[in-house]
Amino acid sequence: MINKTSKKKKGIQIGNFIVTFDTGNLKAVKITSVAENWNVRYREDNILYAWILNELKTEEGREVLHLAFACWFAASNGIPDDTFLEDVVQAYTRSIERMKEGVKRLSEEEDQELLDKMKSDFGSPKPTTDNTH
């Protein structure tokens, strides 16, 4: 039931939210509440655009999206107090820390080896005489 087509608008209904796509110079995904009293839009140059498209592919992903949309809705419509805002910032900070833990960092030696390999494979960059940068 979390995944149906809206009768009001063409789009994918996920819980109390409808996902639609805008086309134009830049594509965008728009999430609107069923009551049409709230929306958020992400252009294709925003990482959330690709994330939402990917999560739409599976039922499990749509459940994750439903939770994300509900959180965004609640955070943007709640009456913020100091404690609430601190909690939001702390949750965001913990999220960023989890993402950083998942990223493999190169050691100085690994970085230098990679640079040396690229230089041998592709040659050293040629200096530019264009000073317009």
Closest CA to 29 of 40, 21, 39, 37: 21
Whole-angstrom Cα distance, residue 77 to residue 114?
48
State the amino acid at position 38 in one-letter form.
W
Which H/E stretch holds residue 33? strand 28-33
Dump pLDDT digits (tens) for 4-47.
Answer: 444 445 899 999 999 999 988 889 999 999 999 999 999 999 99
Dump pLDDT digits (tens) for 42-88.
Answer: 999 999 999 999 999 999 999 999 999 998 998 888 777 889 888 88
Report domain extents, the chain.
1-78, 79-119
